Amino acid sequence: MPQLNAVPLSWYLMLSAILFTLGVAGFLFRRNIITVFMSIELMLNAVNLSFVAFSHHLRQVDGQIFTFFVMVVAAAEAAVGLAIILTVFKNRRTLSIDEVSSLKN
Amino acid sequence: MPNQPDLQLWLILFFPLLGALINGTIGRRLSKGVIGTIAIGSVALSFLWVARALSELGQLDSPHIERYFNWITSGDLKIGFDLSIDRLSSIMLLVVTGVGTLIHVYAVGYMDHEEGFWRFFSYLNLFMFFMLILVLAQNFLLLFVGWEGVGLCSYLLIGFYFLEKFAGDAAKKAFIVNRIGDFGFSLAMLLIVVHFGSLDMTEVFEAARKMPIEASGGVLTTVALLLVVGACGKSAQVPLYVWLPDAMAGPTPVSALIHAATMVTAGVYVVARSSEVFLKAPIAMEVVAVIGLITAVVAALIGTAQNDIKKVFAYSTVSQLGYMFVALGVGAFSAGIFHVVTHAFFKALLFLGAGSVIHALHGEQDLSKMGGLKSKIPITYGTLMIGAVAIAGVWPFAGFHSKDAILLAAHAHAPWMYWVGVFTAGLTAFYVFRAIFLCFFGEYRGKAHPHESPAIMYMPLVILALLSVAGGYLPVMDWLAPLYPAHEEAHDLTLIMISVAFAFGGIFMAYFVYVLNPGSADGYAKSLGGIYRAIAGKFYVDEAYDVAIVHPIEHGSRSVLMNGVEEVVVEGGVNATVAVSRSVGGALRFLQAGNIRSYALYVLLGAVIFLGVMAAGGGIR
Amino acid sequence: MDLILFAFFATIAVACGISLVVQKHPIGSALSLIGVMGSLAVIYLLLGAEFIAAVQLIVYAGAIMVLFVFVIMLLNAGEETATGRSWPTRLLGIPLLAVFLGLLAYLLQRMSPSMGTVTFGAFNTGAREIGRSLFSKYLLPFEVTSVLVLIAILGAIVLARKEID
């Protein structure tokens, strides 16, 4: 039983793993494009947590720098991705991921 | 061998090659004058370079070898690009380049109205290049390169009028029959490598010199016989002579250069060059002599019944080559080479003269449509007459000296050979003069308007005629004497008189049948009946080959290879591969559902596998 | 104290995560995601990453998620209809995920003795440390990301504007 003010690092990593798995689940099982996109953001957050945890463990700031960059990239990705979703919606009039399958076979 | 002054022998080869390349690549856009100048010039330059090299080398007591670069190194076998001149090759070089130049000059005039002028001279120069490689080669493999190369050029030139089917067929026949000979030559080379460890001629002949004479079969005999197979192919001896008469489908200068003066003598040259090997294999020498004798007689007989003027001379070439083989076989190597030289003169003259006649008659080659041309084309008539007298062996013309040297040597070896040879000499005189009389005497039986050839064509004829007259006095045999063991030749006047008598007999018979009693020939032919038909049908050799060899191969190819192997194995194999590929692709196609979520699933699957491997491997660290 | 805080906010995060996956309407998922991000920000604070926690709330939850909500409103996305065709996903997805989580758990459990514990205050990094690192060791990535952001802006503008035809 851990002490009251010392949480094992593996618990943080386990939380990260669970959140990541939830993100993958959302990606696989949801049909709405926007929800899928949000699942991706969830995955990125899980990974961020992992980075920060290790940064604390190794007493280095580099992990946090990485998190910083991940956030920047996530922002850029969100901007462009949502623009794409808007365009797809304009052309296909649908938000279902299954119907955007022109590359079939 | 100490390295003598570098004479740049490679230039002898290079000039014709350069001419061939220039004419071959840009010749289409050049004018005829330029093409002709390049072609003649390159061969003339070769001739001058040969002359210069020989003048610098002087006596040539030992061969002058120039080694350029290492061509093949395989284990212990080293084959280099080595050229050499010795007394034997010096003579061949002079003949090839000298007569070659004359024929090139003639050809510029003869081919003036032909399509593909540039192509012709490109091929002709290429031929000179390969022939010179053959002559200058210091090792067997390089000689074989030249050997094959002249075969290729012969194919290209025989089939020059490629739009005619018979020309293409003749070219293929020449190449394929030659191939059989080449196979023998290759086997000989392999045997030499295995036994002597080298293909360099000096080394091989040194080693052969130390070996004992083989009374019965042995390595040297086998090598010699295989070389003879090759020589039979190239020099048109029985049984591989059938390509030469058909080769007359090519333009006449080609017949003169390749099939009279140079390429066909390559076989004789190789045997003479390899005299060390042959002298130790008496069985092979006998074989050579007998083959030569049979060829000489059979070809002479067939020549008496031919109606195409070029075919008469073609069979004459085969017959004369037989004489050279007889000389080699009885050990009179220098006499054989002497006959090569004189034959080059008068045979080239005869062919070029025939070409002049054909040119005058606008393409007519049939003797039965000629006649009475001696007043209409006098220069051609005069030079052809000289050539005919030379080949008949009348003193003091060139043919007499060389042929008699051979006949005397044959008599010293085995008298029956002499008698066969003398009879053939008579036949030679007969058929040559038959052609001359049918062509130039009597009444003109054709429909064209004959006119004399231009100077560019008759000048070489005149020069060759002079050589045919005086060539017998060239000291060829003395020059070659140190190379070969001394030959005791009884200078028997009786034998010489008999041979001259046979020659005159042949001429007179021809005169009697064709001039004094024109038209009587048919009567004689009928009375000889079956024999005449056999002769006129060339002894049905071509037909025999067709039935025995050509048809079975064709049938076998069609049924076994085409329908069997090709359909089942090759096509089937390819189709099976295609089917497999298609089915696998079809199966894999379902992975590409276009559905993003299934792609994600595959990524997840990959990640799981990766993690699984890591876990199985014991985790991190 | 750390333990209680951690357990509390971890539970919130997982609950919000499950809610994100399960919600029918996209707006519900968006709000769940904001919940996740908030809890994660607190956890970052527990790990001593003050600056990152602030950035998480300001940029991630404050800007990106707002963008998401705008787009959901713009597209007037409705509730999701029942899932359709993708059979491999339904069949394989759940087992694979279970295996995935299981493997991760296993690996973490193997590694856990060698890892230490997290105590609040053991390692505090603020803007100063991050700034120092960002402008010395990670200068090049920093500059490159600014180019990346520029490209993203351009891309978004180009993609989403009306066609001028």
Contact C2, A7 (CB under 8 A): yes
Collapsed DSSP state (helix, strand, coil) of residue A81 = helix
Task: Give the H or E element holding residue B382.
Answer: helix B378-392
**How sure is the predictor about B148, in pLDDT bands with cuts at 50, 70 and 90?**
very high
pTM of the model: 0.67
Q: List CB contacts of B172: < 8 A, sequence separation 6 or more.
A: B155, B159
Output the pLDDT for position A86: 85
Contact between A28 and B604 using a beta-carbon 8 Å cutoff = yes
| Higher-confidence position of A5 and A27 | A27
Tokens of B341: 């030289």
Buried b (16+ CB within 10 A) or exposed e, A38-73: bbbbbbbbbbbbbbbbbbbbeeebebbbbbbbbbbe
Q: Print the domain residue range for B317.
A: 281-536
Average pLDDT over residues B389-406: 85
B364 and B328 part of one domain:
yes
Cβ pair C88:B601 closer than 8 A: yes
Chain C residues whose beta carbon lies within 8 Å of the beta carbon of residue A34: 26, 29-30, 68, 71-72, 75, 77
A35 is a domain residue:
yes
Complex ipTM value: 0.87
d(CA B119, CA B140): 30
Residue A70 lies in a domain: yes
Do residue B503 and residue B409 come from a single domain? yes
From B277, B233, B273, select the one nearest B137 (Cα to Cα): B273
The first and second tokens of residue B219, run together, are: 């390595």
Residue B218 inside a domain? The answer is: no
pLDDT in tens, A82-104: 988 888 888 877 777 766 666 65
Q: Residue B598: which residues within 8 A CB-CB, separation 6 or more?
A: B591, C86, C88, C89
Both structure tokens of B512: 């009697």
Domain count, chain B: 3
Does residue A99 lie within any of the structural domains?
no
End-to-end CA distance of chain C: 63
Judged by a CB distance cut-off of 8 A, whether residue C21 touches chain B is no
* Residue B270 is assigned to a structural domain of this protein: no
DSSP code for B60:
-
Same domain, yes or no: B258 and B349: no
Q: Measure the CA–CA gap between B140 and B384, rounded to whole angstroms.
A: 38
Give yes or no for A34 touching B (CB within 8 A). no
Evaluate whether A23 touches A48 at the Cβ level (below 8 Å): no
The nearest alpha carbon in chain B to A98 belongs to B595
Q: Is residue A4 one of the residues assigned to a domain?
A: no
Q: Report the CATH number that the domain containing residue A87 is assigned in CATH.
A: 1.10.287.3510
Q: Which of B232, B263, B294 is the last residue of a domain?
A: B263
> Mutate which of C52, C139, C142, C144 to disrupt the A interface (most A C-beta within 10 Å)?
C52
Contact B373, B360 (CB under 8 A): yes
| Residue B608, pLDDT above cutoff 80 | yes
Q: Could you give the number of structural domains in chain A?
A: 1
Which subunits count as partners of chain C given 3+ CB pairs below 8 Å? A, B
The residue out of B536, B555, B586 marking a domain boundary is: B536
Whether B428 shows a pLDDT value over 50: the answer reads: yes
Q: Closest partner residue to B619 among C85, C93, C110, by Cβ?
A: C110
Model confidence at C82: pLDDT above 70: no
Residue A102 pLDDT:
64
- Structural domain span for residue A38: 9-92
> Is residue A62 assigned to a domain?
yes
Are residues B158 and B75 part of one domain? yes
* Chain A stretch 6-65, residues whose beta carbon is closer than 8 A to a beta carbon of chain C: 6-15, 17-19, 21-26, 28-32, 34-35, 37-39, 41-42, 45, 48-49, 52-53, 55-57, 59, 61-62, 64-65
pLDDT of residue C89: 66
Q: Say whether both B491 and B561 belong to one domain.
A: no
Distances (CA, A) of B453 to B356, B358, B377, B459, C51: 6, 10, 8, 10, 109
The tokens for B552 are 């079975």
Residues B25 and B84 in one domain: yes
Q: Which of A21-30, A49-58, B483-492, C16-25 has the lowest mean pLDDT?
A: B483-492
Q: Are residues B295 and B426 in the same domain?
A: yes
Q: Report chain C residues whose CB lies below 8 A from the CB of A57.
A: 115-116, 118
pLDDT averaged over every residue in chain A: 86
Residue predicted with more confidence, B126 or B521: B126
pLDDT for C10: 94
How far, in Å, CA of B410 to CA of B498, rounded? Answer: 14
- Domain finish residue from B205, B230, B263: B263
Residues B297 and B175 both lie in one domain: no
Q: Are C73 and C26 in contact (CB under 8 A)?
A: no
- The mean per-residue pLDDT over the stretch C24-46 comes to 93
Which is nearest to B460 in space by CA: B524, B387, B516, B363? Answer: B387
pLDDT at B156: 92
Three-class DSSP labels, B507-573: HHHHHHHHHHCCCHHHHHHHHHHHHHHHHHCHHHHHHHHHHHHHHHHHHHHHHHHHHHHHHHHHHHH
| First vs last C-alpha separation in chain A | 55
Which comes out higher in pLDDT, residue C51 or B116?
C51
Q: Which of B81-90, C27-36, C77-86 has the lowest mean pLDDT?
A: C77-86
Q: Which amino acid is at B613?
A: V
Q: Which chains touch A (3 or more CB pairs under 8 A)?
A: B, C
Taking CA atoms, what residue in C is nearest to A84? C159
What residues 63-102 of chain A have any CB closer than 8 A to a CB of chain C?
A: 64-65, 67-69, 71-80, 82-87, 89, 95-96, 98
Res B147: pLDDT: 92
Interface residue C103 vs chain B (CB under 8 A)? yes
Return the pLDDT at B456: 80
Residue B269 lies in a domain: no
* B225 in any annotated domain: no
Of B598, B615, B621, the CB nearest to C88: B598
Q: Does the pLDDT value for residue B174 go beyond 60? A: yes
C124 against A70, higher pLDDT? A70
Domain assignment present for A102: no
Using the Cβ of C123 and the Cβ atoms of chain B, whether some distance falls under 8 Å is answered with no
Tens of pLDDT, residue by residue over B300-339, are 888 888 888 888 899 899 989 999 999 998 888 888 889 9
Q: Examine the pLDDT at C164 and tell me if it is beyond 60.
A: no
Residue B358 has pLDDT above 90, yes or no: no
pLDDT tier for residue B1 given thresholds of 50, 70 and 90? very low
Question: For B252-274, what is the mean pLDDT?
Answer: 86
Could you tell me if B178 and B167 are in contact, meaning their C-beta atoms sit under 8 angstroms apart?
no
- From B232-241, B505-514, B541-550, C29-38, the region with the lowest mean pLDDT: B541-550
Q: Which of B368-382, B409-423, C25-39 has the lowest mean pLDDT?
A: B368-382
